[in-house]
Amino acid sequence: MASLYSPQSQAGVLSFYDAPTKGPKIDPRYVLIGVAIFAVVILVANHFLYF
């Protein structure tokens, strides 16, 4: 019978997710707030452009 492997036990998966990345470290709250503000701006602009 073949043994079952979880995705984490395959070679390279853990090192891929644990690898340090270069670039800005942004708090997820700021990303969510930015997306919400962007969506509101788009909705308001859409409202004023078509009415």
pLDDT at 1 over 60: no
Q: Which of 1-10, 20-29, 39-48 has the highest mean pLDDT?
A: 39-48
| pTM for the model | 0.54
pLDDT of 40:
97
**What is the number of helices (H) and of strands (E) in the chain?**
2, 0
Q: What is the mean pLDDT of residues 29-43?
A: 97
